[in-house]
């Protein structure tokens, strides 16, 4: 069965099977954690959350599963400058909720925002089209992050 760009419809049971991946306890546990917790978890965050309920899921499996999920487009792998990858579900059962990030360079607080997306989305679409044509790139996604100091940190002086 084919691997790779298997982004179909439905939720993840079918998605997994449809792509020829086996459905294991570890994978279910990871997806369960991801859909329950609000985003931006590191592999180890997930490991610790899982470990209490499924003590026999290893950290290696977390990494491997996250890579699979990322390849399937079910999970976004994020980098906020501390040197550990963070992960968030790309879309829940009821569909995507695309957003961008606001990162405090001091305390690493991360804010999801969608407020300005409406206008952004327009320009982004055009930009992607224009860039794709000009540089012969097939653009699949983008990262937009704003960095600065959160209220608490800029107040600290």
> Footprint of DNA on this chain (CB under 7 A)?
17, 21-27, 42-44, 56-61, 63-65, 67, 83-85
Residues 28, 32, 91, 120: which binds its own copies (CB under 8 A)? 120
Tokens describing residue 69: 């999920």
Q: Segment contacting its own copies (CB under 8 A): 1-9, 10-18, 19-27, 112-120?
A: 112-120
79 lines the binding site for Mn ion (CB under 5 A): no
Q: Angle at Cα 5 formed by Cα 88 and Cα 141, nearest 5°?
A: 50
Residue the block writes with tokens 């992607």: 128
Residues 67, 79, 106, 126: which binds Zn ion (CB under 5 A)? 106
**46-56: b (≥16 Cβ within 10 Å) or e:** bbebbeeebee
With CB under 5 to 8 Å by kind, the binding choice for 63 among Mn ion, Zn ion, DNA, none is: DNA
With CB under 5 to 8 Å by kind, the binding choice for 126 among Mn ion, DNA, Zn ion, none is: none
82 lines the binding site for Zn ion (CB under 5 A): no
d(CA 153, CA 151): 6
For residue 147, the minimal CB distance to its own copies (Å) is 5
Q: Which of 7, 10, 34 is nearest to 19 (CA)?
A: 7
Q: Which of 33, 25, 26, 28 is nearest to 15 (CA)?
A: 28
The residue among 69 and 88 lying less far from Mn ion, judged by its C-beta, is: 88
């Amino acid at each position: 069965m084919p691997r790779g760009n298997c982004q179909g419809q439905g939720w993840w049971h079918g998605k997994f099977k449809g792509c020829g991946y086996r459905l294991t306890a570890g994978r279910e546990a990871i997806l369960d954690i991801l859909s329950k917790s609000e985003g931006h978890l590191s592999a180890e965050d997930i490991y610790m959350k899982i470990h209490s309920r499924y003590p026999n899921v290893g950290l290696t499996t977390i990494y491997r599963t996250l890579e699979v999920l990322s390849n399937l487009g079910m999970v976004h792998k994020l980098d906020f400058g501390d040197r550990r990858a963070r992960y968030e579900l790309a879309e829940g059962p009821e569909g995507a909720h695309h957003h961008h990030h606001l990162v405090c360079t001091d305390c690493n607080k991360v804010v999801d925002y969608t407020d300005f997306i409406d206008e952004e989305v327009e320009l982004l679409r055009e930009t992607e089209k224009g860039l794709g044509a000009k540089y012969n790139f097939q653009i699949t996604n983008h990262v937009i992050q704003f960095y600065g100091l959160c209220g608490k940190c800029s107040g600290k002086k």
